[in-house]
Structure 1
């Protein structure tokens, strides 16, 4: 069975990420991390800082997402209204763009409350990643999750 990473690689080859974006997050930033990186404190009911490792597309300030999902179970995706309002490659910069292939710090603003699902991310940079308790979250669009679910369905039902 293909992993989500393999499915993403296939969708990249098809050019899906030239049209639709996504953001992968491996951890949230704690208050200590926010101070360490000289970032602006935020209302945690509306905003969250996340660490992105790498992407197949540029990460741009102003990008909007309407879906988030846990890499372990994309079928349980949640609808959200979220927008990137800050991106940083290095301590305290705000360049508006993280080039594809690079990672950095991203701040997401949620129209409603920050979803509980973000609690499955590693909550502090000093914390060791524990795959039993932590996971990766992806923020994307309905079009992307529909394609991912289509690929999963093909694997589960090869006759389709």
Structure 2
């Protein structure tokens, strides 16, 4: 039997969890649906790329911080839930929804890590080389990486929406 957590602690955990979700999802959505299209339309290359790198960097910082908050508060909420029966105990619809949610979260983490630690350093390196007139930059490679980053960002946004759907399923189970 799971010991009941104090109501104030659970309320605080839910509030932080919801706030972190709103900040991260709101930042990603704003960047993908509003900032990127407007930047593409109104900014030129020498302003466009540095602006996007800064915007993405800021969203990533917020995202990774929110992920830490979501992990801590989510584990607390999960362990306090009456349907929680232990690690990998999949005996009810709630547990199945939570398992599926965590699998999708794992996929989201892999995609985010790929963007942060593989794509971004490559793009940053090419942008840095572009600033030096002596260097010949492969613009096709730079554009390919930027397109891949955009696709991965959309993939992350879709995964986030799937996570919300799985959360809704768990809440109604």
Larger radius of gyration: 2
TM > 0.5 fold call = no
Answer 1 or 2: which has greater strand percent: 1
Q: Structure 1-normalised TM-score? A: 0.28
